[in-house]
C-alpha cells in the first residue's frame, strides 16, 4: 500500500465509464438516479461562457484526478476549480491528510501529482466530460467550465514548468495528451452511439480562460498584486484571487469561534498579523479592478481560503492544518459582506466556505457565484450531494452573468450565520459515530444505531415497517428484544441516535418517537394474538424488583416457558419509572400497557413484600433462581451544613410529587443541586408544586458539563428553570444558600475540566428548600447480608457474561448492579440474566419475531439510493421514518466518501454472502487520505482492511492488505492472493472453481471481479 496514485490512461478511462454504466448503471460509483439532469434550459454566464449551473468542486481532493472530475460532473457539477498546482510538485505529504468528522481539516493544499501529470488528468477529464455530455445527455454545446488554479509566488508561477501548464490549459492543441485523447476517441467511436468524429474534432483545445490565484498565508501584498497583474495582462486570463479569512482579524475570528462553540480550535495570532490586512486588501482590490477593466478582463475574489489552525488534538500528523466546512461559513460569508460593502456590491465573488444544500440558494440569491464545495462532499453521500445542490439552484438561474451583489440579502445572510443551527457546534462534544467493532473483510453492512443501542433494537426494520404502516409487525420487531416499548418509546435515553449516519448529513433520525408510534398503533392488534409461553421447565424463578431490569428478565424467562414470580416491596410494578419519574414525562397509562404485555407472557406478581430480602428464604420457598433487580434507591446525602430539615433528597421528593403534590411545602424558592436527569426532573417537578415561584439548578461546573441529556436540559430551560453554574453549595441557613464560586481548571484525564474553588469568593442565593440530586446509591448492606461479594470501589462481583453473583443461581442486574443508569440499560441486564438462566435450564433463548417480515427488496434499494446524499430536516409524524438510510441494507459509505473513487461496490453471489454488494478497494487509486476511515462505522480503516485489488505485482509487494493481483486473466485465470499475511496462488478452472484453501465466498469475489469487471484491472 502506498499513497502514490496510479493514473488511469485515457483509453481505459473511457472504457471504464462506458462499461461501468452498461454493467451497473453507474459512472464511477454515481448511480443513474443521481445523475444531474437539467429540468429547464436556464444557464448562467461566466467569463463570456455559459454553464448549466454554477456549482462545482473547490480546488481540492475532488478535482485532482480525472475520475474525480467525472464523478463531480455526473452528479451536477458544471464549474470545476481544478486542484492547484505549484512549482514544488514533489512534496511528500504526511498521511492521513484529511479529517472531516465535523468541520474539516486538511494538510494537503496543492496537487500531489507532478505538474504535467495534473495537466494530463485535466485534459483527459475535459474530453470525457464532452463525451458524457453528448453520449448521456445528447447535448452538443459545452455547458461546463474548467477554471485553473495556481500558487503560490510570482517566481514559481513564471517558471517554465508552471508556465507550460498555464499555456497548455489556455490552448492544449499541440500537447501530446490532447492529441492522444483525440486519437483514442476517434479509434473508440464504436463504443459510443451519439459521438462521431465531427464531434471529436470540435472539442475545443481552449480548456481554460480563467484562473484562481492561491497565495500562501503570509504572502506579501505587493507580491499578490504583482501576480494578479501578471495573470491578467501577460497571461490574459480572467482572474479570481483567493482571499484569506484572516482578513477579518484575530479578535473577530476568536470571538466568532468562542460564541459558536468552536472554542477548542487553536488559532495562531501570527497567521493574522503576517497576512494581508483588510484595509490594504481593499485598496489592492480597488486598483486591480481598474487594471482588469483596462485590460478587458474580469476580476474578482474567491472567498475564502481555508483557515490555518494549530493541530492540538492529534487530528492529523504535523503542527498546522487548514480548516474548512461548517465552521468556516460564518467567517466567509461575513468576509464576503464586509468586502462587498467596500465596493457597494460591485464585486465579483466566487464562493467556497461551508456551502451546502441548506444555504446554497441563499448564497446564490445574494448574487454570489460560482459556488464551490469540498467538505460537504467528504461526508456520506459524497459526490452525489452535487445533485441536490444543482437542483436547488435550477429555478434561480437567469441566463445572466452576475452583475452586482444584492447587499440587503448578503447582509441578512451574514448576520444570520452566527445563529444558524447548522453551523453552531453542539454544546457537548459530538461523540464519534464509530463503533468498537472490527471491520470484516466481507459482508460489513451494519446499522450503527443498532450497535449504539444496549439491546441492539432492529431500528431500520421497524422504521420501515412504521413507514409502510405495518404497525403490528413493527411492534412485533420491537418487543422481540424489548418488553417496554411504551416506556422506551417515551423516555429512552436513545443512545442509538448518537450513532446515526444522518448526523453526518443533518440530524439523527428521531428514532424514539417512531418506536412510540409503533407501540401506540401496534399494541392492540399484537395483544389479540399473543399467547403466554408454554411451560417448558419445572424450575422456578423469583425476581425481586418490578422495575425495568426485573420486568425484562421475567418477560424473557416466561416467554421461554419458565415459571416466574416478580416480588416488589411496593404495591405496583414499574419501579423508578412508575414511582419516581414525573407524569409530565411519561403517562401512567403508557407504563400500564408495558406491564400488560409482560403479564401476557404468564409472569406472576406479588406486591408489598418484606423489603428485607433473604435469598435463602426465597430458595427455601422452592425458587431455583433468584434475580435481584432492586434498583439503587438510596439517596446520596448532600454534605452541607445548616438547616438540614430544609434539605430533601430529589428521589423521595419526586415520589411524593407523584402521589400528592398539593401536600408538599417547598416554600417559594427551590435550589436543586446536581446536573443529571434526576436534577432536571426534580427542578421541573418543583416548578409545578403549589407556592413555588423560582427554581434554580446549582452546579459546580458549567452547563456544558452536565451529565443530563441535552433534551432534558432543554426542557428544563424551556420550563423556566434557572441555571446557576460554577457554584458549589456550602451551607443553608435562614433562607440563604451560601455557595462557593468555582472556576473551570485544567482538563483532567477524561478531558473534562475540573472545578476549582475561587478562594474566598462566595455567592448567596435566597432559597427555602434544597433538593439534593447528586446521585442514588446501591443498597450494599442488603447484598452483604445475603453473602454477595462486593469488590473494590463498590463493584459487585459478577460473571460479566451472565451477571451471576458469587452465590450460585443468584443473579443481579440494572441499577442494583451498576448504580443509577437507564431503562434500556436495565433491559439489557434483564435480557442477559434471562439468557443465562435459560442456558442453565437447557431452554432456548429466542428473540425471533413472531411474524415473518419481508420487504420488497427492489423498491427498498431504489428508495435507499434515492435518499442518499440528500439533506433533509426532521419531518413531522411518521414521515420521519423516510429519513432513515437503512444502513444495514446498503452502507457503501466508504465508497461514497472516497474522493478518488478507490472503494468500489461489487455485487457478489457467493456461498453465505448476504450483503447486496461487497467492497473492493483499488490500491492504485488510493492516496491514503484517510477519509473512508473517518466515516466507516467500524473501528477500522476500509482502505487498510477491505479486499484490495492491485494493478501490479510491485503494488502488491508494497502492501500488507488482504488482496490480489491478477497474474493471468482469461478463461482459467490465476491470481496471487495475500490472506491473513500468507501469499498463495489461486488458479481457477473455467467454472470459477479453485482447489486453493480459501473460502468459497472469497473465491466468488475474485472470480466476479475477473469475469465481470475487466475494466477494473486492465489499466
894 lies in the binding site for ligand SF4 (CB under 6 A): yes
Q: Which does 633 bind (CB under 5 to 8 A by kind): ligand SF4, ligand FAD, none?
A: ligand FAD
900 lies in the binding site for ligand SF4 (CB under 6 A): yes
327 lies in the binding site for ligand SF4 (CB under 6 A): no
986 lies in the binding site for ligand FAD (CB under 6 A): no
449 lies in the binding site for ligand SF4 (CB under 6 A): yes
Within 10 A of 423 (CB to CB), how many other CB atoms are there?
A: 24
93 lies in the binding site for ligand SF4 (CB under 6 A): no
Q: Which is nearer to ligand FAD, 629 or 1010 (CB)?
A: 629
Q: Which stretch binds ligand FAD (CB under 6 A): 80-88, 132-140, 626-634, 799-807?
A: 626-634
Contact at 8 Å (CB) between 286 and 313? no
Strand order in the sheet with 540-544: 604-607, 563-568, 540-544, 625-628, 810-812
598 lies in the binding site for ligand FAD (CB under 6 A): no
Q: What does the alpha-carbon distance between residue 89 and residue 102 come to, in Å, rounded to a whole number?
A: 30
Query: Among residues 245, 550, 910, 937, which is the contact residue for ligand FAD, using CB under 6 A?
Result: 550
339 lies in the binding site for ligand SF4 (CB under 6 A): no
Q: Which stretch binds ligand SF4 (CB under 6 A): 175-183, 722-730, 938-946, 974-982?
A: 938-946
Q: Which stretch binds ligand SF4 (CB under 6 A): 294-302, 447-455, 525-533, 784-792?
A: 447-455
121 lies in the binding site for ligand FAD (CB under 6 A): no
Contact at 8 Å (CB) between 474 and 878? no
936 lies in the binding site for ligand SF4 (CB under 6 A): yes
501 lies in the binding site for ligand SF4 (CB under 6 A): yes
First to last CA, the chain: 17
Q: Which is nearer to ligand SF4, 502 or 593 (CB)?
A: 502
In whole angstroms, how close is the CB of 672 to ligand FAD at the nearest point? 11
Query: Among residues 76, 367, 381, 545, which is the contact residue for ligand FAD, using CB under 6 A?
Result: 545
Contact at 8 Å (CB) between 549 and 827? yes
In whole angstroms, how close is the CB of 438 to ligand SF4 at the nearest point? 11
Residues forming a β-bridge with 147: 81
Residue 483-522 contact track with ligand FAD, rule CB under 6 A, x = bound: --------xxx-----------------------------
594 lies in the binding site for ligand FAD (CB under 6 A): no
Q: What does the alpha-carbon distance between residue 577 and residue 76 come to, in Å, rounded to a whole number?
A: 52
User: What's the distance, CA 139 to chain centroid?
Assistant: 37
Whether residue 96 is preceded by a cis peptide bond, meaning omega within 30 degrees of 0, is yes
Element (H, E) at 156: helix 154-158
What the block records as the C-alpha cell of 560 is 421461554
In whole angstroms, how close is the CB of 692 to ligand FAD at the nearest point? 18
Contacts 24+ apart (CB under 8 A), 874-881: 874/507, 874/510, 877/517, 878/466, 878/467, 878/469, 878/514, 878/517, 880/509, 880/510, 880/513, 880/514, 881/463, 881/464, 881/466, 881/467, 881/509, 881/514
Q: What does the alpha-carbon distance between residue 437 and residue 231 come to, in Å, rounded to a whole number?
A: 53
Q: What does the alpha-carbon distance between residue 541 and residue 539 come to, in Å, rounded to a whole number?
A: 7
Q: Are strands 563-568 and 736-747 parallel, antiparallel or unpaired?
A: unpaired
740 lies in the binding site for ligand SF4 (CB under 6 A): no
629 lies in the binding site for ligand FAD (CB under 6 A): yes
In whole angstroms, how close is the CB of 646 to ligand FAD at the nearest point? 21
Query: Among residues 631, 775, 910, 973, which is the contact residue for ligand FAD, using CB under 6 A?
Result: 631
Q: Please, which of residues 179-238 interact with ligand FAD by CB under 6 A?
A: none
Contacts with 707 (C-beta within 8 Å, 6 or more apart), sequence order: 675, 676, 677
175 lies in the binding site for ligand SF4 (CB under 6 A): no
Residue 954: is it exposed, middle or buried by C-beta count within 10 angstroms (0-12/13-18/19+)?
exposed
Query: Among residues 55, 113, 340, 511, which is the contact residue for ligand SF4, using CB under 6 A?
Result: 511
Give the closest residue to 453 by CA, choosing from 424, 421, 481: 481
What the block records as the C-alpha cell of 27 is 459512472
Contacts with 620 (C-beta within 8 Å, 6 or more apart), sequence order: none
Residue with cell 492544449: 172
Q: Which does 631 bind (CB under 5 to 8 A by kind): ligand FAD, ligand SF4, none?
A: ligand FAD
DSSP 175: S
Q: Please, which of residues 908-927 interact with ligand SF4 by CB under 6 A?
A: 919, 926-927
CB crowding 729-738: b at 16 or more within 10 Å, else e = bbebeeeebb
Q: Which is nearer to ligand SF4, 95 or 688 (CB)?
A: 95
Q: Which stretch binds ligand SF4 (CB under 6 A): 501-509, 826-834, 971-979, 984-992?
A: 501-509
**DSSP per-residue string spanning 493-507:** --GGGGS-GGGGTSS
Residue with cell 467567517: 331
User: What's the distance, CA 378 to chain centroid?
Assistant: 11
Contact at 8 Å (CB) between 720 and 732? no
962 lies in the binding site for ligand FAD (CB under 6 A): no
677 lies in the binding site for ligand FAD (CB under 6 A): yes
946 lies in the binding site for ligand SF4 (CB under 6 A): yes
Query: Among residues 87, 390, 453, 459, which is the contact residue for ligand SF4, using CB under 6 A?
Result: 459
Size of the site for ligand FAD (CB under 6 A): 40
Contact at 8 Å (CB) between 868 and 889? no
Size of the site for ligand SF4 (CB under 6 A): 40
Give the closest residue to 5 by CA, choosing from 108, 148, 114: 114
CB crowding 624-642: b at 16 or more within 10 Å, else e = bbbbbbbbbbbbbebebeb
Give the closest residue to 993 by CA, choosing from 966, 972, 1016, 962: 972
Q: What does the alpha-carbon distance between residue 387 and residue 398 come to, in Å, rounded to a whole number?
A: 19
Q: Which does 444 bind (CB under 5 to 8 A by kind): ligand SF4, ligand FAD, none?
A: ligand SF4
Q: Which stretch binds ligand FAD (CB under 6 A): 63-71, 348-356, 546-554, 635-643?
A: 546-554
In whole angstroms, how close is the CB of 501 to ligand SF4 at the nearest point? 4
Q: What does the alpha-carbon distance between residue 827 and residue 794 come to, in Å, rounded to a whole number?
A: 22
Q: Which is nearer to ligand SF4, 444 or 551 (CB)?
A: 444
Q: Which stretch binds ligand SF4 (CB under 6 A): 221-229, 273-281, 712-720, 891-899?
A: 891-899
Q: Which is nearer to ligand FAD, 681 or 725 (CB)?
A: 681
Q: Which is nearer to ligand SF4, 501 or 677 (CB)?
A: 501
Query: Among residues 70, 442, 484, 580, which is the contact residue for ligand FAD, using CB under 6 A?
Result: 580
814 lies in the binding site for ligand FAD (CB under 6 A): yes
Q: Which stretch binds ligand SF4 (CB under 6 A): 196-204, 833-841, 928-936, 1001-1009?
A: 928-936
513 lies in the binding site for ligand SF4 (CB under 6 A): no
Q: Which stretch binds ligand SF4 (CB under 6 A): 131-139, 305-313, 444-452, 999-1007?
A: 444-452
Q: Which stretch binds ligand FAD (CB under 6 A): 32-40, 50-58, 97-105, 576-584?
A: 576-584
Binding site for ligand SF4 (CB under 6 A): 439, 444-445, 447-449, 459-460, 500-502, 509, 511, 884-887, 891-894, 897-898, 900, 902-903, 919, 926-932, 936-938, 942-943, 946
Binding site for ligand FAD (CB under 6 A): 491-493, 544-550, 567-570, 575-577, 580-581, 609, 611, 613, 629-631, 633, 651, 654, 677-678, 681, 782, 814-816, 821-824, 826
Amino acid at each position: 500500500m502506498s499513497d502514490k496514485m496510479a493514473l488511469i490512461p485515457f483509453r481505459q478511462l473511457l472504457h471504464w465509464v462506458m462499461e461501468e454504466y452498461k454493467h451497473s448503471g453507474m459512472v464511477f460509483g454515481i448511480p443513474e438516479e443521481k445523475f444531474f439532469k437539467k429540468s429547464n434550459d436556464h444557464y448562467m454566464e461566466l467569463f463570456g461562457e455559459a454553464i448549466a449551473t454554477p456549482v462545482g468542486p473547490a480546488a481540492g481532493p475532488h478535482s485532482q484526478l480525472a475520475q474525480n472530475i467525472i464523478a463531480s460532473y455526473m452528479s451536477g457539477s458544471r464549474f470545476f476549480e481544478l486542484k492547484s498546482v505549484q512549482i514544488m510538485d514533489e512534496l511528500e505529504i504526511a498521511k492521513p491528510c484529511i479529517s472531516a468528522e465535523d468541520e474539516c481539516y486538511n494538510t494537503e493544499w496543492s496537487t500531489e501529482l507532478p505538474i504535467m501529470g495534473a495537466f494530463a488528468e485535466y485534459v483527459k477529464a475535459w474530453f470525457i466530460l464532452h463525451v458524457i455530455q453528448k453520449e448521456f445527455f445528447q447535448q452538443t454545446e459545452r455547458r461546463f467550465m474548467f477554471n485553473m488554479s495556481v500558487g503560490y509566488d510570482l517566481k514559481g508561477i513564471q517558471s517554465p514548468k508552471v508556465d507550460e501548464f498555464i499555456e497548455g490549459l489556455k490552448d492544449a492543441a499541440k500537447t501530446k495528451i490532447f492529441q492522444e485523447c483525440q486519437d483514442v476517441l476517434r479509434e473508440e467511436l464504436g463504443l459510443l452511439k451519439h459521438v462521431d468524429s465531427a464531434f471529436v474534432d470540435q472539442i475545443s483545445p481552449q480548456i481554460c480562460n480563467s484562473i484562481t490565484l492561491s497565495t500562501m498565508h503570509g504572502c506579501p501584498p505587493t507580491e499578490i498584486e504583482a501576480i494578479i497583474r501578471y495573470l491578467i495582462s501577460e497571461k490574459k486570463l480572467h482572474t479570481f484571487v483567493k482571499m484569506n479569512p484572516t482578513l477579518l482579524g484575530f479578535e473577530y475570528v476568536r470571538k466568532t469561534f468562542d460564541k459558536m462553540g468552536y472554542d477548542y480550535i487553536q488559532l495562531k495570532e501570527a497567521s493574522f498579523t503576517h497576512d494581508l490586512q483588510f484595509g490594504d486588501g481593499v485598496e489592492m482590490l480597488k486598483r486591480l479592478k481598474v487594471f482588469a477593466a483596462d485590460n478587458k478582463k474580469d476580476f474578482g475574489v474567491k472567498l475564502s481560503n481555508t483557515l490555518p489552525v494549530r493541530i492540538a488534538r492529534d487530528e492529523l500528523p504535523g503542527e498546522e492544518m487548514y480548516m474548512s466546512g461548517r465552521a468556516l461559513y460564518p467567517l466567509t460569508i461575513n468576509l464576503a459582506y464586509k468586502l462587498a460593502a467596500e465596493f457597494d456590491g460591485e464585486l465579483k465573488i466566487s464562493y467556497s466556505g461551508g456551502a451546502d444544500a441548506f444555504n446554497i440558494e441563499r448564497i446564490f440569491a445574494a448574487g454570489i457565484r460560482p459556488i464551490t464545495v469540498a467538505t460537504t462532499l467528504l461526508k456520506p453521500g459524497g459526490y452525489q450531494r452535487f445533485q441536490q445542490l444543482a437542483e436547488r439552484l435550477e429555478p434561480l438561474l437567469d441566463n445572466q452573468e452576475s452583475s452586482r451583489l444584492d447587499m440587503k440579502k448578503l447582509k441578512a445572510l451574514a448576520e444570520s450565520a452566527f445563529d444558524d443551527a447548522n453551523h453552531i457546534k453542539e454544546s457537548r462534544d459530538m461523540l464519534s459515530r464509530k463503533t468498537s467493532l472490527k471491520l470484516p473483510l466481507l459482508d460489513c453492512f451494519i446499522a450503527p444505531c443498532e450497535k449504539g443501542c444496549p439491546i441492539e433494537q432492529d431500528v431500520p426494520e421497524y422504521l420501515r415497517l412504521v413507514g409502510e404502516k405495518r404497525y403490528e409487525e413493527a411492534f412485533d420487531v420491537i418487543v422481540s428484544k424489548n418488553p417496554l416499548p411504551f416506556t422506551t418509546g417515551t423516555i429512552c435515553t436513545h443512545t442509538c441516535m448518537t450513532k446515526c449516519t444522518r448526523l453526518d448529513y443533518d440530524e439523527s433520525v428521531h428514532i424514539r418517537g417512531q418506536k412510540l408510534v409503533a407501540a401506540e398503533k401496534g399494541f392492540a392488534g399484537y395483544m389479540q394474538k399473543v399467547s403466554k409461553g408454554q411451560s417448558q421447565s419445572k424450575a422456578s424463578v423469583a425476581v425481586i424488583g418490578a422495575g425495568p431490569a426485573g420486568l425484562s428478565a421475567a418477560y424473557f424467562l416466561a416467554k421461554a416457558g419458565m415459571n416466574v414470580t416478580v416480588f416488589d416491596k411496593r404495591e405496583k410494578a414499574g419501579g423508578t419509572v412508575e414511582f419516581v419519574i414525573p407524569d409530565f414525562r411519561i403517562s401512567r397509562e403508557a407504563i400500564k400497557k408495558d406491564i400488560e404485555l409482560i403479564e401476557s407472557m404468564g409472569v406472576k406478581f406479588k406486591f408489598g413484600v418484606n423489603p428485607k430480602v433473604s435469598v435463602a428464604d426465597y430458595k427455601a420457598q422452592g425458587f431455583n433462581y433468584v434475580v435481584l433487580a432492586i434498583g439503587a434507591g438510596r439517596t446520596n446525602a448532600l454534605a452541607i451544613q445548616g438547616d438540614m430539615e430544609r434539605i430533601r433528597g430529589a428521589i423521595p421528593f419526586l415520589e411524593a410529587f407523584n402521589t400528592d403534590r398539593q401536600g408538599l411545602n417547598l416554600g417559594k424558592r427551590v435550589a436543586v443541586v446536581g446536573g443529571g436527569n434526576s436534577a432536571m426532573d426534580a427542578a421541573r417537578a418543583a416548578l409545578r408544586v403549589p407556592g413555588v415561584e423560582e427554581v434554580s439548578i446549582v452546579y459546580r461546573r458549567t452547563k456544558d458539563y452536565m451529565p443530563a441529556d441535552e433534551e432534558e436540559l432543554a426542557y428544563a430551560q424551556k420550563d423556566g428553570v434557572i441555571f446557576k453554574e460554577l457554584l458549589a453549595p456550602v451551607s443553608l441557613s435562614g433562607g440563604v444558600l451560601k455557595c462557593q464560586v468555582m472556576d473551570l481548571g485544567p482538563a483532567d484525564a477524561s478531558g473534562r475540566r475540573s472545578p476549582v474553588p475561587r478562594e474566598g469568593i462566595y455567592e448567596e442565593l435566597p432559597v427555602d428548600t434544597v433538593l439534593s440530586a447528586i446521585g442514588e446509591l446501591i443498597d450494599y448492606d442488603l447484598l452483604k447480608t445475603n453473602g454477595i461479594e462486593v469488590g473494590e470501589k463498590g463493584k459487585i462481583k459478577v460473571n460479566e457474561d451472565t451477571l451471576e453473583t458469587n452465590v450460585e443461581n443468584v443473579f443481579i442486574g440494572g441499577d442494583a448492579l451498576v448504580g443509577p443508569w437507564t431503562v434500556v440499560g436495565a433491559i439489557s441486564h434483564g435480557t442477559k440474566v434471562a439468557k443465562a438462566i435459560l442456558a442453565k435450564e437447557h431452554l432456548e433463548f429466542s428473540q425471533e419475531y413472531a411474524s415473518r417480515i419481508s420487504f420488497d427488496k427492489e423498491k427498498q434499494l431504489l428508495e435507499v439510493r434515492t435518499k442518499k446524499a440528500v439533506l433533509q430536516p426532521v419531518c413531522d409524524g411518521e414521515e420521519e421514518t423516510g429519513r432513515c438510510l437503512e444502513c444495514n441494507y446498503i452502507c457503501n459509505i466508504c465508497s461514497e466518501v472516497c474522493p478518488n473513487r478507490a472503494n468500489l461496490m461489487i455485487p457478489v453471489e457467493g456461498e453465505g454472502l448476504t450483503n447486496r454488494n461487497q467492497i473492493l478497494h483499488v490500491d492504485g487509486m488510493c492516496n491514503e487520505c484517510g477519509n473512508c476511515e473517518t466515516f466507516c462505522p467500524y473501528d477500522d480503516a476500509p482502505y487498510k482492511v477491505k479486499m484490495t485489488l492491485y494493478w501490479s505485482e510491485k503494488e502488491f509487494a508494497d502492501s500488507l492488505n488482504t488482496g490480489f493481483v491478477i497474474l493471468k486473466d482469461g478463461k482459467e485465470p490465476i491470481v496471487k492472493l495475500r490472506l491473513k499475511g500468507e501469499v498463495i496462488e489461486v488458479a481457477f478452472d473455467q467454472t470459477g472453481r479453485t482447489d486453493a484453501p480459501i473460502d468459497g465466498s472469497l473465491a466468488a469475489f475474485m472470480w466476479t471481479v475477473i469475469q465481470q469487471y475487466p475494466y477494473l484491472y486492465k489499466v
